[in-house]
Chain A
């Protein structure tokens, strides 16, 4: 066979990323038609975690701040939804998002204002300590939050009440519809995040990450930029929490406990925090690894821990970073 026969169509180099995105999206749209309900549900979880990780990575990858307390914002989103249902009887997903996102933004703004006074290890410990405040409140005020039992959240209505999910077969229908719902939100969130990190604001964050002193010298108000990044980051993770609850059907203090923050860090690193797509890949891959680890062995934490240690030792740039390096090496030969 001649070489030209299998050669890929010639695209200008700048169109390649768009082609890749289009292909990825097409795959994501087609998947539920191919696989079953269970796989669709898993992938929805993956997309939700990808949104959380995108938000988290604005701080770690682009601003250079490692938060060990992002469970707080995820949990705030989730608990806001649960409260809206429990105490106000609201059942519309759109209202959950419209009301939940400002709440998550407000909490991130307040906690962020405190946290960005520090960097490096102190920033990490401060975020952790503050997230633990929320965790202990959720655990102890059981008459409001349900304590360690948490709060149940039934299936919401989608698209302003046009889609309801009751009766027989409603679970399958819900998973199917909700997947596309989350996918749409995910695409919007990813696009917004892309714009943010490629805007002058995003460039300023990267300048601060790379050299704080110089950034200050050219006139950037470093702490204010970090605060804004923190706010956006927490809001995205809060949005993920909002989307996560109806899928899980239950919110417990576990998602506010600090090991969950560790999971968010883990999955971002798994994908690779030095590039934009890393957290997305990490969110989806981590969901699968965790689900199958839980399903195959009682000792899934052991497995995850081992994966994490090996990852940090051998593949510090994550899956996407590793693939990029591989591609570069292949192109060189």
Chain B
């Protein structure tokens, strides 16, 4: 029984990280109609920045519990990176065909992957001090890291905050208006460029947050972004590109299947995930909750 609870918690932990990545990907697609192939790499950058910051802070002798504050700092750094990328690289492509948008984000992916290697080298970077500083939870005689439960909490808070931001604030209205009809929004006097920058920055913030909260329990390694991207793709395909609810449900489905897969059918665990995505695309191309 307690094994089951732990497996469930594991998949919730995983779901919350996946949700952060997929929600950003979905938000960017929903507002800007761009499929950001570099999104996984931004997740990777978040992980590396967080691990690096934690490493510095530990050297300075910062008490471990304060290190948690570095997680939003790392996420914000990725958001700032996004605010540089959007006007510089993406803006010239909104009027062009989708192929070019995919290609420019693919180029960005190559650049970011190597920049990470250039800055932090090829060795994994870990930030387990943060994880060790959190208490260990007893579940029916088994031990479980409290940090994982904290991550689940972050996922829940992020989902609530996103929902509130998009459906209950004025900014959310602007965001949804731009997403519905960019030209109409612009004609009504909305500064679409600023909405785009904000949407992209929020998407990057979410990806960076995902990377920053995962790095205390898994080290930051090269190629983590490329791997995360395809999983995030599966999530948004299952849930529906451009849908927040879809990202949440998709993340839950994918992580449950993955946890079950690792337990029961490890050889085809990944293949099953991609097959689910393909099946959803065939049956319902817009995903479970998509409208695009």
Contact = CB atoms under 8 A, between A and B. Distances in A.
A121 B92 contact: no
B62 interface: no
Given A114-B282, A130-B278, A299-B117, A140 B111 contact: no
Interface residues of B, number: 43
Interface in B249-269: 266-269
Interface stretch (B5-13, B16-24, B186-194, B226-234): B226-234
B102 A66 contact: yes
Contacts of B104: 308-309, 312-313
A118 interface: yes
B102 A301 contact: no
B134 interface: no
29 contacts: A66-B102, A68-B102, A114-B282, A117-B285, A121-B35, A122-B281, A125-B237, A125-B277, A125-B281, A126-B278, A128-B230, A129-B234, A133-B271, A133-B278, A136-B274, A139-B270, A140-B267, A140-B270, A258-B226, A259-B109, A265-B102, A265-B103, A266-B103, A299-B117, A302-B111, A305-B107, A305-B113, A309-B111, A312-B100
B159 interface: no
A312 B103 CA distance: 7
A121 B277 CA distance: 14
Contact of B113 (A124, A136, A301): A301
A120 interface: yes
Interface of B: 35, 37, 89, 92-93, 96, 98-100, 102-104, 106-115, 117-118, 226, 230, 233-234, 237, 241, 266-271, 274-275, 277-278, 281-282, 285
Contacts, number: 122
Given A128-B233, A133-B275, 10 more contacts: A120-B98, A121-B98, A124-B102, A128-B230, A140-B268, A265-B102, A265-B103, A265-B106, A302-B118, A305-B111
A299 B118 contact: yes
A199 B35 CA distance: 35
B123 to A, nearest CB: 14
A114 B283 CA distance: 10
Given A68-B102, A302-B114, A308-B103, A259 B92 contact: no
Given A137-B271, A265-B103, A316-B100, A301 B230 contact: no
A262 B106 contact: yes
A141 interface: yes
Interface string A108-121: 00000010011011
Contact of B35 (A125, A129, A258, A307): A125
A301 B110 CA distance: 5
Contact of B277 (A120, A129, A308): A129
B115 A302 contact: yes
B271 A66 contact: no
B267 A133 contact: no
Interface in A130-150: 130, 132-133, 136-137, 139-141
Contact of B266 (A129, A140, A269): A140
Given A129-B274, A136-B270, A140-B266, A302 B110 contact: yes
Contacts of A122: 281, 285
A60 interface: yes
A259 B106 CA distance: 9
B25 to A, nearest CB: 11
A133 B278 CA distance: 9
Given A301-B110, A302-B114, A309-B111, A60 B274 contact: no
A306 B111 contact: yes
Nearest to A139: B270
B99 to A, nearest CB: 5
B47 to A, nearest CB: 18
Given A114-B282, A125-B233, A130-B274, A309 B268 contact: no
A304 B277 CA distance: 30
Contacts of A126: 278, 281-282
A316 B100 CA distance: 8
A136 B100 CA distance: 28
Given A118-B281, A299-B117, A309-B104, A132 B110 contact: no
Contacts of A305: 106-114
A175 to B, nearest CB: 29
Nearest to A138: B271
Interface string A10-31: 0000000000000000000000
A125 B286 CA distance: 12
A312 B109 CA distance: 14
B287 to A, nearest CB: 10
Contacts of A60: 99
Contacts of B282: 114, 117, 126
Interface in A16-50: none
Interface in A165-185: none
A122 B237 CA distance: 9
Nearest to B117: A299
